[in-house]
């Protein structure tokens, strides 16, 4: 018999966010310019596969199918714990706690890993434009402070900051896309990147693994459900819009980069130049000013992603503290409703991990960024797969007016597809890390996700026997005892 909780209690937090605000949080987490400059070129370089543009459309299609059931469930649950709450309602409370631990490890890993790339990019910017040699961690410390401060301010202010940064970096990528397609390399314009025969070949698993990281941040819509003006509609609409925009945008950008480089040269140039490929191709067509502006926006793109993930982690900590799954002090908020304790906790965690990498002399990109962002993406894929099956479980006894497509077919198919993708990620993890198949890291790093999940399930079982009053409200958004003083 399932130990799923009853419907969530009414929330009492400020509601100031609309569909555009949530879309900004989701898309900002994917860091458009970062994906265009780094993720796409890396996919071409590592896999040598031409069908990268089509892969984004395939992934977007899978996530839209996922969203059909996810959106239906979002009409009945508004909880800052998002996937945690959905899984608790649809599969069971213990599974929900396990999912929350996976989410905390995953989103912290994503955020801290991005700090590595931010540090390297900001140090390069100082070196190139100001002649200053600064360690990578110096820029990171400054970013940690700014992100931490923004994290305790009003959420709609965070949305405005993300909106400005997102619009600027998106314009830069669109300008490049137009220039790349209008002035193609040798061979002219071709649609070969969208041909299934150029994607579904040996190595397609690695392509999808790299691509799915571009959609991480997908959960943001549900995370901010308690702060939406109309959560029953906002979460669904924002998710559909964000997934569609991300999928099409990255598909066109991947195609434009290949057109600019030339079909027969894209892989070789990507391997030779890495993330600099977009800037090199852009400068040849748009001049030095494009490179200068895009270099700055690359740094701000990373900052936007840092802020988005920071807010996600803070709200998870808030949700778990409110329900007593973690110490109740984590549910303390500011007068504006921002998760003060969760934000500060995430900041401290980030500083500790970053200090370890800095003191031990680890490479900020090849190790800090690559290791942790891949761990984070793996965890989010697992969460989405579990959430799909949770939708089926949630509507099992009561359809609540939803169709068979919404409550069974779509989430079932999405769960199978995302589960298969999770397996592909594990099998191809050495490719994603750039290590040998025999490297222990290929098992240790994704193992962190599985260990976190099992630890969470164990903690949930402990709560059931030792603190039944806490176990009873898991996933419901209720507070056990008195509200903490803000």
* 218-241 core/surface letters (b: 16 or more CB in 10 A; e: else): bbbbbbbbbbbeebeebbbbbbbb
**End-to-end Cα distance, the chain:** 39
Q: Which two tokens stand for residue 433?
A: 């890390």
Half-sphere exposure of 125 (CA within 13 A, CB side): 18
Distance from C-alpha of 149 to C-alpha of 439, rounded to nearest angstrom: 39
List, in order of start, the domains of the chain with CATH numbers. 25-471 (1.20.1740.10)
Distance from C-alpha of 24 to C-alpha of 40, rounded to nearest angstrom: 21
Using a 10 angstrom Cβ sphere, with 0-12 exposed, 13-18 middle and 19 or more buried, the burial of residue 2 is middle
Which residue is associated with the tokens 């009414």? 10
Distance from C-alpha of 203 to C-alpha of 49, rounded to nearest angstrom: 8
Distances (CA, A) of 370 to 90, 113, 243, 424, 433: 33, 7, 24, 18, 6
Q: What is the model's pLDDT at position 7?
A: 41
Which residue is associated with the tokens 């222990």? 440
Asked whether the beta carbons of 223 and 312 are under 8 A apart, the reply is yes
pLDDT tens for each residue of the chain, 486 residues long? 445 444 433 334 455 667 777 777 777 767 788 889 888 998 898 889 999 999 999 999 999 999 999 888 888 886 666 788 899 999 999 999 999 999 999 999 999 999 999 999 999 999 999 999 999 999 999 999 999 988 887 655 666 777 788 888 889 999 999 999 999 987 788 999 999 999 998 878 888 888 888 887 666 666 666 666 776 677 778 888 888 989 999 999 999 999 999 988 999 999 998 888 999 999 999 999 999 999 999 998 898 889 888 988 998 899 899 899 999 999 898 877 778 999 999 999 999 999 999 999 999 988 999 899 989 989 989 999 999 999 999 999 899 999 999 999 999 999 999 999 999 889 888 888 888 888 999 999 999 999 999 999 999 999 999 999 999 989 887 666 544 433
Distance from C-alpha of 125 to C-alpha of 143, rounded to nearest angstrom: 15
| C-alpha Rg value of the chain to the nearest Å | 22
Q: Which two tokens stand for residue 281?
A: 């191709």
Asked whether the beta carbons of 38 and 173 are under 8 A apart, the reply is no
Asked whether the beta carbons of 55 and 243 are under 8 A apart, the reply is no
Q: Which two tokens stand for residue 467?
A: 């603190």
């Amino acid at each position: 018999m399932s130990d799923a909780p009853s419907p969530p209690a009414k929330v009492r937090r400020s509601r100031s966010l609309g569909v555009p605000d949530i879309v900004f949080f989701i898309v900002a987490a994917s860091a458009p310019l970062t994906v265009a400059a780094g993720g796409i070129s890396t996919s071409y370089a590592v896999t040598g596969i031409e069908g990268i543009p089509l892969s984004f459309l395939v992934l977007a299609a899978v996530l839209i199918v996922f969203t059909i059931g996810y959106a239906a469930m979002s009409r009945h649950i508004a909880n800052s714990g998002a996937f945690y709450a959905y899984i608790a309602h649809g599969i069971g409370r213990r599974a929900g706690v396990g999912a929350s631990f996976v989410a905390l490890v995953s989103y912290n890993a994503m955020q801290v890993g991005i700090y590595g790339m931010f540090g390297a990019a900001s140090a390069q910017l100082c070196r190139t434009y100001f002649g200053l040699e600064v360690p990578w961690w110096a820029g990171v410390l400054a970013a940690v402070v700014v992100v931490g401060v923004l994290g305790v301010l009003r959420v709609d202010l965070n949305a405005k900051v993300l909106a400005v940064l997102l619009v600027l970096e998106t314009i830069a990528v669109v300008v490049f896309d137009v220039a790349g397609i209008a002035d193609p390399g040798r061979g002219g314009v071709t649609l070969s990147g969208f041909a299934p025969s150029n994607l579904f070949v040996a190595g397609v698993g690695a392509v999808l693994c790299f691509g799915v990281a571009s959609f991480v941040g997908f959960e943001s819509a549900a995370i901010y459900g308690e702060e939406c003006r109309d959560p029953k509609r906002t979460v669904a609409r924002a998710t559909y819009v964000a997934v569609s925009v991300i999928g099409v945008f990255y598909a066109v950008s991947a195609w434009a980069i290949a057109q600019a480089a030339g079909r027969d040269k894209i892989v070789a140039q990507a391997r030779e130049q890495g993330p600099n490929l977009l800037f090199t191709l852009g400068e040849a067509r748009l001049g030095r000013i494009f490179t200068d502006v895009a270099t700055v926006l690359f740094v701000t793109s990373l900052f936007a992603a840092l802020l988005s993930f920071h807010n996600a982690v803070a709200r998870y900590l808030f949700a778990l503290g409110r329900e007593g799954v973690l110490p109740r002090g984590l549910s303390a908020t500011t007068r504006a409703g921002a998760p003060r304790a969760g934000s500060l906790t995430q900041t401290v965690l980030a500083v500790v991990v970053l200090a370890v990498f800095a003191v031990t002399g680890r490479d900020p990109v090849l190790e800090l960024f690559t290791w942790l962002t891949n761990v984070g993406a793996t965890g989010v894929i697992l969460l989405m797969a579990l959430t799909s099956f949770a939708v089926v479980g949630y509507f099992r006894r009561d359809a609540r007016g939803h169709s068979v497509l919404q409550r069974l077919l779509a989430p079932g198919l999405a769960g199978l597809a995302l589960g298969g993708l999770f397996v592909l990620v594990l099998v191809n993890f050495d490719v994603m890390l750039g290590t040998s198949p025999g490297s222990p890291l290929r098992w240790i790093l994704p193992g962190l996700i599985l260990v976190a999940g099992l630890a969470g399930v164990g903690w949930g079982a402990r709560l059931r026997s030792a603190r039944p009053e806490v176990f009873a409200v898991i996933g419901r958004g209720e507070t056990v005892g008195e509200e903490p003083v803000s």
